[in-house]
A = this chain, B = another copy of it.
């Protein structure tokens, strides 16, 4: 396979393996063509990395074509040349009059490209519930590709992403170093009277400046630090209100390196924590240790959850939601991979 100039943080062989694994799943699901619109999946298969997912763009994988095809706004073609491993002829831009137009849609351009390449027949998979793949995009594809059968491919590429290479794990470890710095910055800057926004500013500074050796990348989710009564609202963002003594704050952040995330959550209590919280702390530490112990080759997601759950319930603590999930590559609005969840129903 002839790739373009490689400015990505991975060897070309790794992209070849990702594409091959994707094609194997496509064949097993009876798909001839896959339209990949999730920015993380686009990045995974080609290296593409730009803040351009606010316009329609797609990576096309066809069983009978060796390499993927990138289609996006013409303005972003140079970015695709810079950040992907694709040769120039596999990067195609649509003109700016497709952008947010009421009379034409970028998916018409995509359909035309499929037709011109003889790919507008057979079964075409789409990521029907992926961010940025809109209802209108699906309707336009259906209208334009009447000779093809369009099917929901689900999170096909996400499942390929679950198994990480050594290089991917290397970047996740670098992300771990960044999130350790960011969490320390949070703890160091918190205190009675400090404004929430100033603590978030310190966290973001640490997330982006990274380490002297490598940069931090932007996390798919902004820092979340509900405090006091706000801890009942896990996704409400900061205000300029000050932190106050004798309250707890949940800090949920991630470090990111080359789009690979390492999330980390900690609870900070300003003052002497109540006995109930100290008890929970001990139970959670024990529960996490049990979960890590259970997370061995061959174990199922629900086995890890069971190890955690047994410990906490024995200690009178109950948690309805999952205790973990698969992560890695991510773009806003989520760093979860939408595949493995550590819960009792996940096999």
Interface residues, chain A, CB within 8 Å of chain B? 49-54, 75-76, 78-79, 82-83, 96, 100, 102, 105, 126, 128-139, 152, 154, 195-198, 200-202, 204-210, 214-218, 221-222, 224, 230, 232-240, 320-321, 332-334, 336, 338
Contacting pair A232 B51 (CB below 8 A): no
Contacting pair A209 B215 (CB below 8 A): no
Given contacts A82-B230, A320-B96, contact A129 B137 (CB under 8 A): yes
Given contacts A79-B236, A198-B209, contact A54 B215 (CB under 8 A): no
Write the nearest CB–CB distance from A277 to chain B, whole angstroms.
Answer: 20
A202 CB contact (under 8 Å) in B137, B205, B222:
B205
Residues of B close to A336: CB separation below 8 A:
54, 100
Contacting pair A135 B132 (CB below 8 A): no
Residues of B close to A154: CB separation below 8 A:
102
User: A55's closest neighbor in chain B, by CB?
Assistant: B334
Contacting pair B196 A215 (CB below 8 A): yes
Write the nearest CB–CB distance from A245 to chain B, whole angstroms.
Answer: 21
The 7 closest A-B pairs by CB, nearest first: A135-B138, A215-B240, A197-B215, A79-B233, A129-B136, A201-B209, A54-B334
Contacting pair A235 B201 (CB below 8 A): no
Contacting pair A78 B233 (CB below 8 A): yes
User: A259's closest neighbor in chain B, by CB?
Assistant: B237
Write the nearest CB–CB distance from A47 to chain B, whole angstroms.
Answer: 12
Given contacts A79-B236, A236-B82, contact A100 B139 (CB under 8 A): no
CA distance A216 to B199 in the complex (A): 12
Write the nearest CB–CB distance from A93 to chain B, whole angstroms.
Answer: 12
Write the nearest CB–CB distance from A217 to chain B, whole angstroms.
Answer: 7
Q: Can you offer 5 A-B residue contacts whose CB atoms are under 8 A?
A: A50-B235, A51-B221, A53-B333, A54-B131, A76-B233
A197 CB contact (under 8 Å) in B78, B134, B216, B321:
B216
CA distance A135 to B35 in the complex (A): 13
Residues of B close to A333: CB separation below 8 A:
51, 53-54, 132, 332
